[in-house]
Amino acid sequence: MRKVSSKHIQWLEKELPILESEEIVTRDVARHIRSYYAEQTASGLHWAIIAFAVLGSLLIGSGIILLFAHNWDELGQSTRALLSFAPLIIGAFLSVMALMKNGGAAFRESAGIFHSIAIGSSIALIGQTYHLPSNTPGFLLTWALLVLPLTFLLSSTGVFLLYLTLICGWSGAAQSEYGQAIGFWLLMLPALGKTAAMIRVRRDAPDTLVSLTGLLLTAALSTGIVFERTVPGLWIMAYSALFSGAALWGLHSYGDKDGWKNPAKTFGIIGIGVLTYLFTWSDLWRDIGWHHIRSGWHHKTWGIWLDGGITFGLLLGWILAAVKSFRKDSIETITLALFPIIGTICFMLGSNIGNDANVISAVIFNGFMFFFGLMYIVLGCRNVRLRQLNGGMAVLSLLLVTRLFDQDFGFMARGIVFIVLGICFLLANLFMARRRKSKGETL
Amino acid sequence: MKKFFLIALLIVIAIQLAVPFQMIRSQETVLRKGKLFRFTTRPIDPADPFQGRYVRLSFAADSIPCDALEIDVLERKEPIYAILSRDPDGYAFFTHWTKERPEEGDYLKTRYLYPDTEWIDDGKTLVTNGITIDLPFERFYMEESKAPQAEELARDATRISNCWANVRIYRGKAVIEDVFAEGISLKELAAKKDE
């Protein structure tokens, strides 16, 4: 991969719209140039330098918080109140410098992170000075809202990830303090917009992939937190749609790329794997559906609409992703798209038939997990992809090993199955390694 | 484009500075204009990772008397206004509550937590005496080395004599000014023990 300095890339990104407007290059050519520089070149600045800069600013920011947390009695209340502005002013100055001097990624990231931490520390220090009561959701919300503009102005991935962490933390704190955190979806909108813009401009750039991963993780974590849980089991539909939708969208947008280069697909497939495994247990399907609606102070009366709305939104996203990515000849796409349908059918069965259906649902998902693992083993062999093969074998092994313990088989039978599975793993990897070697590829 | 970003960043920084400034202004207004109330306390001492060591206070007067029927209209953590008064010894207590902001008198903006109940007739009957509220001044921050000592002193003082918090209240907002044990400020007491 060629090394091109980030300053040159920045220059190019400024020039391309001008060249486009003066019709020297077409929009398509400009897009190809952008994607070439994002995919085929690396910044002259090593990632380690950025990582150290980020770590340094994180440590200094945290150190300042701790220094102030000592609470210097010798200084008066007014002095301490004024001092609490100091980190924020330093952070703001660094951000202005990073923007004015067109600082590289390391400077922008470290200035942005320091500035963001300084905002939180200033608010916390004023709280300390005036003995303000604990209001974690209020604190996190104010912090997140003040950090939000920096994610756009400084184009800092670190600040963006900090914002996602803050809103994720807020959703938990607000759910516990107020009994609901519906505002989380509003806070997610700017993050969604920013990630969409990054994908449109620089789809394969590392910062886009990191931001997308952060967004997906936040969505997965906070969907569970924000759910009111008034209708037990509705989360099955919501999470199935989220993971399946992400995987299908990843397939549509990033094609056959996998692993780190296709975070949506990887996230979706891992999510589906984990959910499928959970769904193989019959206890999970007990007492679900409309007949078991919950009430009490922490279950709002409108919770059913909130949960229903979130589930509907996620299902809508899944339908869109499924329609866009659907290919009759791709067993992977069909399987991923089928997952929420099977989940919904099982949820309906549990809702209408009651606890008699829980064994049926568990059996269906044992079958699905078996097929899911087998499919990736076959795909891995066909496409000569070790990751797919090993993933498929891991899924299949997990299912077999769990069911073996579940069904109380003898030690002898279990021992033989373990050995056979181990041999299969080794042989399959050896076979794949030889095939790849014969094709002249490196592992 | 760079100019636009720079102006936008400067506006954002101005807002970021305005938020803590407004926080300080609001607290200073309460301290300057607020009426002083004394609340009898029961302290314990924890720490906050962001804000440091503090003495956590719980208060004797953390409930408002009312009928069980009145509580039915309240949802847990719903904001309410608690009306303040002073007992003959000068300590604050709450007389009643309202959902609307009172036009006059001393009041505190707070939240309803749960019914204040007790078992009578040797544990056979549960009666509702009123509601328990969330008092928004349960933290008193101190220098990290002094907070545990202060907590110990305050605990002793609560056992043998009176321990109270001076709280300024203005238009429903409260700011804790100082905590006293045996009539002496906790900070002074902790400093004395240091010597």
Give me the pLDDT at residue B15, please. 92
In angstroms, rounded to a whole number, what is the distance separating the alpha carbons of residues B95 and B66?
Answer: 9
Between B42 and B84, where is the model more confident? B84
- Specify if B20 maps to a domain: no
> Which residue range forms the structural domain that includes residue B72?
63-134
Q: How far does the CA of residue B75 sit from the closest CA of chain A (Å)?
A: 7
B117 SS3 class: strand
Whether B87 and B40 map to the same domain: the answer is: no
Domain boundary among B86, B112, B134: B134
Amino acid at A121: S
Whether B57 and B70 map to the same domain: the answer is: no
Inter-chain contact B20–A88, Cβ cutoff 8 Å? yes
| Chain B interface mutation, best of A71, A85, A131, highest count of B Cβ atoms under 10 Å | A131
Q: How far does the CA of residue A387 sit from the closest CA of chain B (Å)?
A: 42
In angstroms, rounded to a whole number, what is the distance separating the alpha carbons of residues B129 and A373?
Answer: 62
Q: Which residues of B touch A143 (CB under 8 A)?
A: none
In angstroms, rounded to a whole number, what is the distance separating the alpha carbons of residues A12 and A7?
Answer: 9
| Chain A interface mutation, best of B3, B50, B111, highest count of A Cβ atoms under 10 Å | B50
A145 SS3 class: helix
Torsion of CA A304, A305, A309, A311, to 10 degrees: 10
Q: For chain A, give me the number of helices (H) and strands (E)?
A: 17, 2
- Specify if B169 maps to a domain: yes
Inter-chain contact A128–B77, Cβ cutoff 8 Å? no
| Chain A interface mutation, best of B3, B4, B9, highest count of A Cβ atoms under 10 Å | B9
- Specify if A261 maps to a domain: no
Q: Which residues of B touch A126 (CB under 8 A)?
A: 20, 23-24, 27
Inter-chain contact A71–B76, Cβ cutoff 8 Å? no
Q: How far does the CA of residue B12 sit from the closest CA of chain A (Å)?
A: 7
Q: At what angle do helices A86-100 and A105-129 cross, to 10 degrees?
A: 160
Instruction: Kindly tell me if the per-residue pLDDT of B100 is higher than 50.
Output: yes
A151 burial via Cβ count (<10 Å: 0-12, 13-18, 19+): buried
Q: How far does the CA of residue B167 sit from the closest CA of chain A (Å)?
A: 11
- Specify if A16 maps to a domain: yes
- Specify if A20 maps to a domain: yes
Instruction: Kindly tell me if the per-residue pLDDT of B194 is higher than 60.
Output: no
Inter-chain contact A131–B54, Cβ cutoff 8 Å? yes
The answer to whether residues A163 and A144 touch, using CB atoms and an 8 Å cutoff, is yes
| Chain A interface mutation, best of B15, B16, B137, highest count of A Cβ atoms under 10 Å | B16
Of A71, A88, A125, nearest to B142 by CB-CB distance is: A71
Q: What is the ipTM of this complex?
A: 0.71
| Chain B interface mutation, best of A130, A145, A300, highest count of B Cβ atoms under 10 Å | A130
Mean pLDDT of chain B: 81
- Specify if B71 maps to a domain: yes
- Specify if B98 maps to a domain: yes
Amino acid at A215: L
The answer to whether residues A258 and A385 touch, using CB atoms and an 8 Å cutoff, is yes
| Sequential pLDDT tens for chain A (443 residues) | 566 776 777 788 888 888 888 888 888 888 888 888 876 666 555 566 677 777 887 788 777 777 776 666 667 777 878 888 888 999 999 999 988 876 677 788 889 999 999 999 888 888 888 877 767 888 899 999 999 999 999 888 999 999 999 999 999 998 888 777 889 999 999 999 999 999 988 888 888 999 999 999 999 998 888 887 778 888 999 999 999 999 999 998 888 787 888 999 999 999 999 999 999 888 888 888 777 777 766 667 777 888 888 899 999 999 999 998 877 778 889 999 999 999 999 998 888 887 777 888 888 998 899 899 989 988 888 887 888 888 898 998 888 888 777 666 667 767 777 788 778 778 877 877 777 777 655 44
Q: What does chain A come to in residues?
A: 443
In angstroms, rounded to a whole number, what is the distance separating the alpha carbons of residues A91 and A88?
Answer: 5
- Specify if B21 maps to a domain: no
Total tally of structural domains belonging to chain B = 2
Whether B116 and B164 map to the same domain: the answer is: no
Inter-chain contact A99–B5, Cβ cutoff 8 Å? yes
Name the token pair of A193: 């917009």
The answer to whether residues A351 and A403 touch, using CB atoms and an 8 Å cutoff, is no
Inter-chain contact B24–A130, Cβ cutoff 8 Å? yes
Of A68, A72, A179, nearest to B77 by CB-CB distance is: A179
Whether B157 and B189 map to the same domain: the answer is: yes
Residue of A nearest to B114 (CA): A297
Total tally of structural domains belonging to chain A = 1
Inter-chain contact B52–A69, Cβ cutoff 8 Å? yes
Q: What is the pLDDT of residues A177-229, one digit of tens each?
A: 877 788 999 999 999 999 999 998 888 888 899 999 999 999 999 888 888 77
- Specify if B31 maps to a domain: no
- Specify if A23 maps to a domain: yes
Residue of A nearest to B137 (CA): A133
Whether B48 and B80 map to the same domain: the answer is: no
- Specify if B17 maps to a domain: no
**Residue B7 DSSP symbol:** H
Of A124, A133, A150, nearest to B12 by CB-CB distance is: A150
- Specify if A14 maps to a domain: yes
Domain boundary among B110, B134, B158: B134
- Specify if B14 maps to a domain: no
> Which residue range forms the structural domain that includes residue A24?
1-44
In angstroms, rounded to a whole number, what is the distance separating the alpha carbons of residues B192 and A128?
Answer: 23
Q: Which residues of A touch B5 (CB under 8 A)?
A: 99, 153
pTM, two decimals, is 0.77
Inter-chain contact B9–A153, Cβ cutoff 8 Å? yes
Residues whose CB falls within 8 Å of the CB of residue A14, separated by 6 or more in sequence, listed in order:
B1
Whether B56 and B81 map to the same domain: the answer is: no
Name the token pair of A295: 């009430």
Inter-chain contact A88–B138, Cβ cutoff 8 Å? no
Inter-chain contact B27–A100, Cβ cutoff 8 Å? no
In angstroms, rounded to a whole number, what is the distance separating the alpha carbons of residues A162 and A166?
Answer: 6
- The b/e string for A213-223 (b: 16+ C-beta within 10 A; e otherwise) is bbbbbbbbbbb
